[in-house]
């Protein structure tokens, strides 16, 4: 059996029935979403083989697998095991179980909002703890000595709560990009020569980033790493920007197609920065962006591709680029392109203080206008933005929050005026500020303790937009067999209404003006 057994959180092993943004459902608290409903919406992907080799796995874990195979390890040494079948792979000769995690203690911004600052437990956390317990039981029962090495985007949480991580039997924590060093790290671990926490401060070059050899969940492939806009709260921004050559991206898409993943999700922190040349004003390299999508859409066997994240300023700086992209991606009334841009705040002051480059080539004072215009361009060309808002950025005042409320008002009024009510589609997801990156010394927002009327109105208004959009769009956004689709529609619609009425009740109890916040109609 394999010396190195790799696996991941169960919440990362589902495609969430392709519900748009369904991947965040692991962040919901178990107190409010019954287990049966969660399991229905989050069925795990089936394994490739009857003993449990994973067919698809989180992209980052596929990179670790590929990096090991590229450096010293052979196929018989390394396996990605489906978490439900892990016991089939851990044997006497297993030296390392490498666990990939995203949100192990529910400290991520989405979980922190849903669980009101961890007053409740998210499914992410519950499933992570359950899996660690399972590993420890296997270890104890079989008298094995393998080491548990945990990494992935949520590894910072394991260090943040290190005593808990020790209690759960985690021997080593790897933080940072590890493609170029993971083989050395695992060698050190195997020879008892590795520290408990390993923070990687170097970065793999594009050449050192390996090509995946097995399928990634939902056909995700990376087109760039890092961003370069320098927002102070942002973890991806800690990485220097690197652009993956188109040939390499196509190679990975073909690997995914072999395993049946015929849609590609193109991951980046900002797709419009692909092969950026103008690093002063951040005017997109339009030809490079268009060429990327043209090449990918011509891959045989691929049905379609979708970008993951973007910023909004390039959309206003070059609306023609969005129009041409829509043409390449065959966007239209029956095929909208989802995108996740960061709106973060409506306050020009906070933009100036924490993320001045996010709005370039425009100025922070123009942020609200940029947001409205970008939404108009997105919707005009059939792009559906799922915006994020951050509550509790350091130095945030009530006036800043009212600015955000005002921005939400403007979006709700001005966008339909230009593109028409039926073509207006966007959501705004409120997240809790979590101190990371350049703001890591700041205090975590305790949303339960630090609520005020202005913050409440941002959260309430943002959720009202989400629920309204669920009612208007979910039926055509979910692509599932009719009986499953009807059940999903019912669950999500009822769930959305319940969340909104809970928020309303909470606001009323605290005496907040729900419909009469300063800038509401």
The residue written with tokens 């999700």 in the block is 265
Of the candidate spans 112-120, 131-139, 224-232, 444-452, the one that interacts with ligand SF4 by CB under 6 A turns out to be: 224-232
Using the minimum distance from each CB to ligand SF4, give the nearer residue, 179 or 269: 269
Measure CA 518 to chain center: 33
Query: Which residues in 309-328 contact ligand SF4 (CB under 6 A)?
Result: 311
Q: Is 237 in the site for ligand SF4 (CB under 6 A)?
A: yes
Q: Is 231 in the site for ligand SF4 (CB under 6 A)?
A: yes
Using the minimum distance from each CB to ligand SF4, give the nearer residue, 269 or 469: 269
Using the minimum distance from each CB to ligand SF4, give the nearer residue, 230 or 319: 230
Query: Shortest gap between Cβ of 211 and ligand SF4 (angstroms)?
Result: 24
Query: Shortest gap between Cβ of 309 and ligand SF4 (angstroms)?
Result: 7
Q: Is 225 in the site for ligand SF4 (CB under 6 A)?
A: no
Q: Is 307 in the site for ligand SF4 (CB under 6 A)?
A: no
Q: Which of 8, 68, 227, 359 binds ligand SF4 (CB under 6 A)?
A: 227
Using the minimum distance from each CB to ligand SF4, give the nearer residue, 59 or 146: 59
Query: Shortest gap between Cβ of 226 and ligand SF4 (angstroms)?
Result: 8
Q: Is 401 in the site for ligand SF4 (CB under 6 A)?
A: no
Using the minimum distance from each CB to ligand SF4, give the nearer residue, 285 or 311: 311
Residues in the chain: 521
Instruction: With CA atoms as reference, report the closest residue to 144 among 165, 179, 169.
Output: 169
What distance in Å separates the CA atoms of residue 466 and residue 463, rounded to the nearest whole number?
A: 5
What distance in Å separates the CA atoms of residue 177 and residue 152, rounded to the nearest whole number?
A: 9
Q: Which of 225, 354, 358, 360 binds ligand SF4 (CB under 6 A)?
A: 358
Instruction: Find out whether 249 and 219 touch, Cβ atoms under 8 Å.
Output: no
Instruction: Find out whether 307 and 332 touch, Cβ atoms under 8 Å.
Output: no
Query: Shortest gap between Cβ of 172 and ligand SF4 (angstroms)?
Result: 28
Query: Which residues in 239-268 contact ligand SF4 (CB under 6 A)?
Result: none
Of the candidate spans 134-142, 230-238, 285-293, 427-435, the one that interacts with ligand SF4 by CB under 6 A turns out to be: 230-238
Cα separation values, 321 from 123, 223, 290, 313, 418, Å? 39, 18, 8, 12, 19
Of the candidate spans 227-235, 245-253, 284-292, 491-499, the one that interacts with ligand SF4 by CB under 6 A turns out to be: 227-235
Cα separation values, 227 from 342, 343, 458, 497, 498, Å? 13, 16, 27, 36, 37
Q: How many CB atoms lie within 10 A of CB 185?
A: 19
Query: Shortest gap between Cβ of 511 and ligand SF4 (angstroms)?
Result: 34
Q: Which of 9, 179, 270, 403 binds ligand SF4 (CB under 6 A)?
A: 270
How would you classify residue 287: left for phi > 0, otherwise alpha for psi between -120 and 50, otherwise beta? alpha
Query: Shortest gap between Cβ of 270 and ligand SF4 (angstroms)?
Result: 5
Q: What φ, ψ does residue 33 adopt, rounded to 5°? A: -115, 110
Joined tokens for residue 286: 């339009």
Q: Which of 236, 314, 392, 507 binds ligand SF4 (CB under 6 A)?
A: 236
Query: Shortest gap between Cβ of 187 and ligand SF4 (angstroms)?
Result: 33
Q: CA geometry: angle at 27 spanning 26 and 30, to 5°? A: 80
Query: Shortest gap between Cβ of 310 and ligand SF4 (angstroms)?
Result: 9
Q: How many CB atoms lie within 10 A of CB 75?
A: 11
Binding residue count for ligand SF4, defined by CB under 6 A: 13
The answer, yes or no, to whether the previous bond of 260 is cis (omega within 30 of 0) is no
β-pairing, 4-8 vs 78-80, is parallel
Instruction: With CA atoms as reference, report the closest residue to 398 among 350, 361, 353.
Output: 350
Instruction: Find out whether 389 and 428 touch, Cβ atoms under 8 Å.
Output: yes
Q: Which of 25, 322, 355, 434 binds ligand SF4 (CB under 6 A)?
A: 355
Instruction: Find out whether 236 and 227 touch, Cβ atoms under 8 Å.
Output: yes
Query: Shortest gap between Cβ of 355 and ligand SF4 (angstroms)?
Result: 6
Interface ranges with ligand SF4 (CB under 6 A): 227, 229-231, 234, 236-237, 269-270, 311, 342, 355, 358
């Amino acid at each position: 059996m394999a010396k190195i057994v790799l696996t991941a959180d169960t919440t990362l092993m589902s495609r969430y029935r392709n519900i748009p943004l369904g991947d965040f459902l692991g962040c919901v608290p178990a107190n409010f979403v019954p287990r049966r409903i969660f399991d229905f919406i989050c069925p795990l992907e089936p394994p490739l083989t009857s003993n449990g080799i994973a067919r698809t796995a989180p992209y980052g874990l596929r990179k670790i697998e590929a990096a090991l195979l590229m450096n010293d390890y052979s196929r018989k040494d390394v396996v990605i095991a489906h978490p439900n079948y892990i016991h089939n792979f851990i044997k006497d000769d297993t030296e390392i179980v490498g666990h990939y995690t995203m949100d192990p203690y529910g400290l991520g911004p989405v979980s922190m909002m849903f669980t009101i600052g961890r007053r409740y437990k998210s499914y992410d956390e519950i499933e992570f703890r359950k899996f660690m317990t399972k590993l420890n039981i296997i270890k104890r029962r079989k008298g094995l000595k393998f080491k548990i090495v945990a990494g992935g985007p949520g590894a910072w949480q394991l260090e943040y709560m290190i005593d808990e991580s020790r209690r759960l039997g985690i021997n080593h924590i790897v933080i940072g990009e590890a493609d170029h060093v993971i083989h050395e790290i695992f060698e050190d671990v195997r020879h008892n020569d590795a520290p408990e926490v390993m923070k990687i401060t170097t970065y793999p070059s594009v050449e050192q980033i390996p090509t995946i050899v097995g399928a990634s969940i939902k056909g995700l492939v990376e087109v760039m790493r890092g961003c370069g806009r320098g927002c102070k709260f942002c973890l991806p921004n800690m990485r220097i920007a690197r652009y993956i050559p188109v040939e390499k991206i196509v190679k990975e898409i073909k690997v995914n197609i072999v395993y049946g993943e015929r849609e590609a999700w193109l991951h980046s922190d900002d797709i419009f920065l692909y092969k950026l040349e103008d690093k002063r004003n951040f005017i997109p390299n339009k030809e490079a962006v268009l060429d990327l999508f043209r090449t990918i859409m011509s891959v045989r066997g691929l049905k379609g591709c979708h970008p993951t994240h973007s910023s909004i300023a390039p959309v206003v700086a070059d609306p023609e680029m969005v129009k041409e992209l829509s043409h390449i991606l065959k966007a239209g009334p029956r095929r909208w392109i989802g995108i996740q841009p960061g709106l973060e705040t409506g306050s020009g002051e906070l933009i100036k203080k924490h993320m001045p480059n996010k709005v370039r080539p425009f100025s922070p004072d123009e942020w609200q206008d940029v947001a409205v215009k970008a939404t108009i361009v997105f919707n005009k060309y059939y792009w559906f933005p799922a915006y994020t808002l951050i509550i509790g950025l350091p130095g945030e005042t009530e006036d800043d929050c009212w600015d955000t409320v005002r921005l939400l008002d403007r979006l709700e009024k001005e966008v339909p005026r230009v593109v028409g009510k039926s073509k207006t589609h966007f959501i705004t997801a409120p997240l809790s500020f979590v101190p990371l990156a350049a703001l890591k010394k700041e205090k975590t927002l305790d949303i339960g303790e630090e609520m005020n009327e202005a913050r409440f109105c941002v959260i309430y208004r943002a959720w009202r937009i989400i629920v309204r959009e669920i009612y208007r769009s979910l039926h055509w956004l979910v692509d599932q067999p009719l009986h499953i689709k009807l059940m999903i529609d019912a669950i999500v619609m009822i769930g959305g209404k319940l969340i909104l009425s809970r928020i309303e009740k909470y606001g009323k109890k605290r005496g907040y003006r729900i419909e009469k916040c300063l800038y509401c109609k």
